[in-house]
């Protein structure tokens, strides 16, 4: 049985999907700093809260302490971001899937750090699926292998972007712009805004870390 963990940060509300759409039995909800309040506002029950909680008022923090079964509080002066500490906490539970919300929009430094962090964690935890979701996009990272994806009419654009280094041997089948054993340099815009032309498509690659972003206009 898959263990699914949902991690919710305190990103801008306009980028946050309706979290109740992702409610499912046995899913574990972790709030990151003020993200724990967003979980509660969406009518869900956080299992754990992680962070320095410098983004919420003392009164709200007391409420969080009353409502959340487990809380890990850190000093603001630390080497890791609250998001990194939350994902490290999630990984202690050996999950199959980690979905992250509230991590996009607002500050670009946080966004870039979160994206690069997912690539690093994927290298060390290849059997865990990592996905970052907002109202317009879903972002996943992959290690070398063969993968199948289905078409999503709402998020029709599919982009593939190398993380950390070049990607070697990228093959795309079932896409508007197919590739066969292609070398994709780091920083290349070659694989932006592709589209599936079949109900399912396949992609594979031999070396590197690959980020896939599915987007809507």
For position 65, what pLDDT does the model report?
Answer: 86
Most confident of 54-58, 101-105, 150-154, 193-197: 193-197
How many other C-beta atoms can be found within 10 angstroms of the C-beta atom of residue 8? 29
Q: Could you tell me where the DSSP H helices lie in 1-49?
A: 35-41
* Domains of the chain with CATH codes: 4-135 (3.40.50.10240), 141-215 (3.40.50.10240)
What's the average model confidence in pLDDT over 68-92? 89
Q: Tens digits of per-residue pLDDT, 173-191?
A: 999 999 999 999 999 999 9
Instruction: Please give the Cα distance from 41 to 38 (Å, whole number).
Output: 5
CA angle centred on 51, ends 108 and 31, rounded to 5°: 85
Burial of 67-79, coded b for 16+ CB within 10 Å and e otherwise, reads ebeebeeeeeeee
Mean predicted confidence (pLDDT) in 134-163: 95
User: What's the pTM?
Assistant: 0.91
């Amino acid at each position: 049985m898959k263990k699914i963990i949902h991690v919710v940060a305190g990103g801008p509300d306009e980028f946050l999907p309706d979290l109740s759409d992702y409610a499912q039995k046995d899913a574990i909800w972790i709030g990151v700093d003020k993200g724990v309040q967003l979980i509660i506002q969406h009518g869900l029950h956080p299992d754990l809260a992680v962070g320095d909680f410098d983004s919420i008022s003392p009164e709200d923090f007391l409420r969080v302490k009353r409502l959340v079964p487990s809380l890990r509080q850190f000093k603001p002066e630390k080497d890791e971001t609250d998001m990194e500490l939350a994902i490290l906490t999630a990984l202690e539970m050996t999950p199959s899937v980690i979905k992250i919300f509230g991590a996009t929009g607002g500050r670009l430094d946080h966004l870039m750090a979160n994206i690069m962090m997912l690539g690093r964690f994927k290298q060390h935890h290849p059997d865990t699926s990592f996905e970052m979701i907002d109202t317009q996009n879903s972002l996943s990272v992959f290690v070398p292998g063969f993968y199948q994806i289905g078409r999503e009419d709402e998020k029709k654009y599919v982009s593939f972007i190398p993380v950390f280094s070049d990607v070697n041997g990228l093959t795309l089948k079932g896409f508007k712009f197919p590739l066969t054993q292609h070398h994709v340099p780091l920083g290349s815009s070659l694989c932006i805004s592709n589209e599936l032309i079949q109900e399912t498509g396949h992609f594979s690659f031999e070396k590197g870390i690959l980020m896939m972003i599915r987007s809507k206009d």
